[in-house]
Structure 1
């Protein structure tokens, strides 16, 4: 009887190993396969963290039992090394400091969630606007890219933000693209690049998605003169899932296994499918413009997608992901849904050297900032 039990148990773990490793390989393939058609494969990419850790634990399990089956998860982990490295940065000794090295350029990326001004009554003093602005001041970036940047059109209701960045924070140069405006024109929001160095030229394009889904937002660039050398900085905000508060609650209910899990899951899947198709188109358009840049390029943005996604891989190309260059761990940048979501990025031309990357977690927006210090080593 014990031998039969051992045999059944072993077969069970063999089946589990095969299933998990196959799913892990498919999640790795999400890098290369356009998600517009194969959205279910991209959805596996969202579970990359779980599949990676499961594959690694199965590898340890088979080592403990000294079985040749350890080779299957080992080979699969080796095949998936690049997506693993994009997901988990391995520089525990890199260190980071709020102090900026002489001669470096500090870049900051942050989705500021409209400075939280939408949450409270105008002029209530309860929003996090002032705290966000003070936090930016303390970080002392030379260039900052922001998404969901809110600007007031009625100073009796809301304070203006662009003048504050210019006059109080020292960002004399900026490029701002308004993507959404209230019908009563009280306020608007979009994406922005602010710079303490001179901006010599700017460009703007609009995505071709449906306006009702906010699929027509902008991607912009600014050519910035940094001590006599021109760099081109892009920023964008790729298609969001557009989750409502109810849908965020549904995600939590799904985690708990509530009675309506299947119904709620299908509603969530439809949102994922819709967003994947639009992000594929948007990533292709951004890459097309980046390839035309005559200058060393940096892109900062809220991609709304994880590091093993098509959007990440398409935009990154041969650029340096500053977090994988100098970070450690998962680098979470979104506060909801899952602790493994890194969806905000700074990527730089290989002519830059990454000195440090920081991923602080101030409780000021639903996104966390990414901050990097760079040096342009070879401008030609």
Structure 2
């Protein structure tokens, strides 16, 4: 009787394992589906990390049981290794470039308006001053700053001057909106190298989200840098907290859950259109380029997948760990990235967890220009 029970349990676990495999396959397929054509696919793709983790647990389970069923999760691990690399980067050491090579360090940071509005509510500007000083003294050659905030008539928030002019950096600032303090809000690119051309990709008249780009003269070679801010998830910490707190109250939980799902769906659809405009633009670039910023989508999304089909990711190629960049109540979210084209190689990728004054953590990577042999 005991043997029969064990056999039934083993078959049940095997069926569940098959279910996880099908989940992985479906999630991988859904990343290929534009959310504006079939938005439920985006939610299925969003769940893919859970399926990948469960697959690892089944792998360990069958190993402990010394069962040939281990072939099933092992096959998923091997065939889906690229997806696991998005989940967890393992790069014990990246090769440093030769000294004569041209290099470029790029910092990307959603500054959350340098906490200007948070500080105003608190009645001081200490967090803003600390954040502005941190950015302005960072050793990167290029800063790509989203939700950039500048107020020319303020000693604290005159960030164009404090970050750019004071440190003799060239800059390009595209403004998406302004406030009653005559402050400007948008995307800024600062560079120690001359900017020889610049522009902006707009996502419609009503969207504050956009992409700024600049062509940099890096010691005689031109490299294009894109600073990206795609459609926000429009989810605040209070929304997530309200959903958590409503567990146990069926009506409240349904209401909060629908609210979250509605906002996620809107973001998925908008970013699907936006990433296609971005790709259309950089495919015409005559120079090697770096695409970095706040994409507001995880590595298991249509947005990320479309970029990964065209470009390499600095975190995957030169980082270590999960690389979470969202500084909020949902852990392990990596929604800020740096992608790069052929002709460049990334090394020394970093996420700065010590700078926790924004709702995003800054990221940086160093790049070496590697001219293709003809």
TM-score, normalised relative to structure 1: 0.89
Aligned residues of 1:153 and 1:185 also touching (Cα < 8 A): no
After superposition, residues 1-380 of structure 1 pair within 5 angstroms as 1-94=1-94, 103-121=102-120, 124-152=123-151, 154-155=153-154, 159-171=157-169, 173-182=170-179, 184-208=180-204, 211=206, 215-253=207-245, 259=250, 260-361=252-353, 362-378=355-371
Per-residue Cα deviation, 1:58-79 (whole angstroms, up to 9, x for no partner): 0111122122322222222233
Per-residue Cα deviation, 1:180-219 (whole angstroms, up to 9, x for no partner): 222x35323111111110001111121037x3xxx35221
SS for the counterpart of 1:145 is strand
Query: Could you tell which deviates more after superposition, 364-373 or 118-127?
Result: 118-127
TM-score, normalised relative to structure 2: 0.91
Aligned residues of 2:237 and 2:328 also touching (Cα < 8 A): no
Aligned residues of 1:284 and 1:315 also touching (Cα < 8 A): no
Q: Which stretches in structure 1 are left out of the alignment for 5+ residues?
A: none
Question: Deviation of residue 95 (structure 1)?
Answer: 9.5
SS for the counterpart of 1:193 is strand
Q: Which stretches in structure 2 are left out of the alignment for 5+ residues?
A: none
Question: Deviation of residue 311 (structure 1)?
Answer: 0.6
Matched pairs, number: 369
Do the aligned partners of residues 25 and 366 (structure 1) sit closer, same or farther apart at CA in structure 2, a change above 3 Å counting?
same
Per-residue Cα deviation, 1:34-63 (whole angstroms, up to 9, x for no partner): 122332222233333322111111011112
Query: Could you tell which deviates more after superposition, 39-48 or 360-369?
Result: 39-48
Instruction: Tell me the C-alpha RMSD between the 2 structures.
Output: 2.5
Question: 2: distance between equivalents of 1:354 and 1:115?
Answer: 28
Aligned residues of 2:201 and 2:278 also touching (Cα < 8 A): no
Question: Deviation of residue 359 (structure 1)?
Answer: 1.1
Question: 1: distance between equivalents of 2:20 and 2:100?
Answer: 45
Question: Deviation of residue 101 (structure 1)?
Answer: 10
SS for the counterpart of 2:204 is coil
Do the aligned partners of residues 258 and 329 (structure 1) sit closer, same or farther apart at CA in structure 2, a change above 3 Å counting?
farther
Question: 2: distance between equivalents of 1:37 and 1:313?
Answer: 16
